[in-house]
Structure 1
Amino acid sequence: MNSSQVLNRTSRCIAQPYENGTEDDQHTIDLGGCLFMSMMAFDGKANVLICVFLTLTTLSLALNGFTLLGLGRSDDLSWEPRYALLKNLILSDVVQTVNLGPFVTHCLLRRSTMTFNTWCVIQYFTGSACIFCTLITITCMAVERYLYVCHAIHYLSILTPLRLHLTVSLTWVLSVGAGFVNVALLHLGEGQYGAATDGLICEPDTVERHMGFPRAAAVTRKLLGLAVTALCLLSYFFAYVRMYQDACNAVVPFNMVNTQARNTVLFYCGMLLLQLVPMFFKITSDALWELQGAVIAAPMSTLFGADSSLLAGTLHITLLALLLVPPCINPLIYGLRNCEVRQALPGIFRWKGDNSEQDMESNGASSQGRWVE
């Protein structure tokens, strides 16, 4: 089925019930199904996507659950700032997964888009808060590693239990506060509650469209997202570059190159960029939205035909899939890759990996020579 056939089917789907002009016919219109049809030409695509989102959701919940189980079973790890921040990251990832995966799968099974209602706004708030919390927590984890490696002597005096609890609480206060601000600014517009949306979840563009495009909400959301992403990148690169420099200085007297430190820096920076792909994707689309102007505020299918409707649907689904990737890889990067966490898991899930991290920590004779993941 080509794009012109999809447009014809969608047009008949919407127009046919209006032919008699009766009120009963208008109530029978399945706008959600029509919008879903215009976004996804082949029914087989929906079945494939159901498998994809079910797999990502299950994988995320399983990996985060096993990591949290390992941390909870170990009394030695529970007090460390590194793992306290990791548990906070896991909590954010689990909430994000539950807020996204089941609802996308439900829409795919129903072959219909989301309905804009109060729950839709709650979903938007929860998703925004979790994304902000994840970015802030990852930033704090990078700073914590920097303090551990580069300021080991003062590490425990800087990261006291009280300061650690305040830091974790502050991440949620800032994230929830940003979500409340976005929702409050959204209500400057007039919402069209009860209408079918053109998405499988209430992501920012969808919510803003149904709230009448309040300019303050859109600008605030984009500026906050750009600022938090930039802060995360700058903090992360500063922390790991400084740790790499200290690790290299530790082996300079021996005329050696700390290859392991370099590989660790490249690994974590690469994983950070992978986690930020959804944010880069969203920032790019927001920038294009601003450059093209308000003309694209109208549904793309009415302006440019079914091809643009299918393209918009593809981009929307791609973004939803990318949002489920970080919750899947975060426990692998920051938790299960660490031999201490693996040893804390139950026997059936215990991994027998190398002890590269422990060897790395014991290489330096001074605090400046420490290099840990």
Structure 2
Amino acid sequence: MQNHSELVFVLQGLNDSLTNRHLYFSLALMSYLFTILVNLMLVVTICLERSLHEPIYIFLCNLCLNGIFGASSFYPKLLHDLLADSHVITYSGCLTQIFVVYSYVFCEFTSLTVMAYDRYLAICRPLQYRTLMTMQKVAQLLFLTWSFTILESVVGITLTSQLPLCGRHVSKIFCTNWEVVKLSCSDTTVNNIYGFVLIVSHLSQTGLILVSYTHLVRASLRMQSSRKKFVQTCLPHLITLLVFTSSLMFDIMYSRYGSESTLQELQNALAAEFLIVSPLINPIIYGLNLHQIRSRMFRNFTHKPVVPKPQS
């Protein structure tokens, strides 16, 4: 199958879910709309409130926009397939979905690393924070985050697109790089090496986050003010990191070592967990825990016009 332009992949993940397709469609649509809603509410709140134009909130805004980006790489195609009789995707469409999904994953990791660095400066070096974390530095970190993300994704997609394929059946409900690489009928050593490089790179980022949290915990134990900052901003960040990492690990481990005898619904849930749970739960965790955001969201989205009292 050398003519990739004519290649069409068959997504087999929904084969056992056709009897309940309307129920799954309704649940997926509500989940997608709610994910978009809660992320946009937080982004709009941060953009409108000048008092929230601080580095931590700008990084959080970027995290929410990336959540919308990730969810939109998965839900529209899923919603279409739930109502369609055939679940297929073109070769170019598959590579595009892989690019967007992995860009979301890489950006999430890098964003969480940048946010950990920001919290380290804010709590461990508070007197120097304003000098070290300027708006110019914030812009540079955001630019590096997305540049690094796009570079990783472009290299991975380029390597995958060079592979000759001898199959077209993808066992998931969406395209992933590993599933396409498995369809190759040539040597995939270069792809495996690059995958190992990516794993080492993002494990290093995780290591940097853990090192920063070691310093953060020490600082919070020494000072009461640092402890309050840790609970308000670092605890949501830590929960976000754990949820995203565990969800992604479920997908990676199951893709490589999972049993085909597992229920299809469970396979789909494990495969898509990092695209469903993290984008949905991140704005909720931060919105509920950060008083500055919570109070302004409540004021902006539940505000009632004030009726003037009649003069006596």
- The correspondence for 1:274, drawn from 233, 243, 253, is 243
Separation of aligned partners in 2, 1:107 and 1:67: 30
| Root-mean-square deviation (Å) | 3.2
Following superposition, the deviation at residue 64 of structure 1 comes to 0.3
- The correspondence for 1:206, drawn from 171, 179, 187, is 179
Following superposition, the deviation at residue 110 of structure 1 comes to 1.2
Distance 1:192 1:70, change over 3 A: farther
Separation of aligned partners in 2, 1:113 and 1:277: 28
Is residue 2:13 matched to residue 1:40? no
- The correspondence for 2:209, drawn from 230, 236, 239, is 236
Is residue 2:55 matched to residue 1:81? yes
User: Mind listing any 5+ residue stretches in structure 1 that lack a counterpart?
Assistant: 1-29, 252-257, 290-306, 352-373
- SS of equivalent to 1:122: helix
Separation of aligned partners in 2, 1:325 and 1:234: 23
Distance 1:217 1:329, change over 3 A: same
CA deviation vs aligned residue, 1:43-88 (integer Å, no higher than 9, x gap) = 12x344323322321121011010011011111212x111111121
Matched to 1:154, the amino acid is Q
Instruction: Quote the sequence identity (%).
Output: 20
Are the aligned partners of 2:70 and 2:101 in contact in 1 as well (CA < 8 Å)? Answer: yes
What does 1:1-373 correspond to in 2, within 5 Å? 32=10, 35=12, 39-40=15-16, 43-44=19-20, 46-78=21-53, 80-191=54-165, 195=168, 197-212=170-185, 214-228=188-202, 230-250=203-223, 268-285=237-254, 288=257, 308=260, 311=263, 314-345=266-297, 347=299, 349=301
Following superposition, the deviation at residue 168 of structure 1 comes to 0.3
Following superposition, the deviation at residue 183 of structure 1 comes to 0.8
User: What is the count of residue pairs matched by the alignment?
Assistant: 293
User: Mind listing any 5+ residue stretches in structure 2 that lack a counterpart?
Assistant: 1-7, 304-312
Matched to 1:273, the amino acid is L
Are the aligned partners of 1:199 and 1:313 in contact in 2 as well (CA < 8 Å)? Answer: no
- SS of equivalent to 1:276: helix
TM value normalised by structure 2 = 0.81
Following superposition, the deviation at residue 220 of structure 1 comes to 1.5
TM value normalised by structure 1 = 0.69
Larger radius of gyration: 1
